[in-house]
Amino acid sequence: MDDITQWDIIEKAMLILDMQLDSDNDSLFEYYFQNAIDYISDYCNVSEITTSLNSVISQMIAFQYRQKGIENVQSEGKGSLSQSFITEYPPNIMNRLNRHAKVKFL
């Protein structure tokens, strides 16, 4: 990841979320960071993450944070009000990952 550190990427995610980084969230955002790295490695079939994916990692961290508490819920109804949730990464993230995906031969 060259000169950009994990915390630089996490700070960008915090900007997206309009949050300040504090020690209460450190472990959670470290987990989201590692989860994003693992997802990219598996999905794209790569062992190294290129710097061009740093902004995608920030977006993935922000998405995971927003999903906190609604994991595994696709929709919810309360009286006449119904709400649907995105259960997978949105198309803007997946499109960028698809550009970096390598074909896996079995």
Compute CA 54 distance to the chain's CA centroid, rounded to the nearest angstrom. Answer: 11
Pair of tokens at residue 31: 């987990």
By the 8 A CB rule, do 59 and 16 touch? Answer: yes
Going 97 to 99 to 101 to 105, the CA torsion angle's sign is positive
Q: What's the whole-model pTM score?
A: 0.79
* Per-position pLDDT tens, the chain of length 106: 456 899 999 999 999 999 887 777 888 999 999 999 999 999 999 999 999 999 999 999 999 998 886 554 555 556 666 555 566 899 999 999 999 998 777 7
What is the Cα–Cα distance from 25 to 74, expressed in whole angstroms? 26
C-alpha count within 13 angstroms, C-beta hemisphere, residue 70: 15
- Amino acid identity of residue 99, one-letter, is R
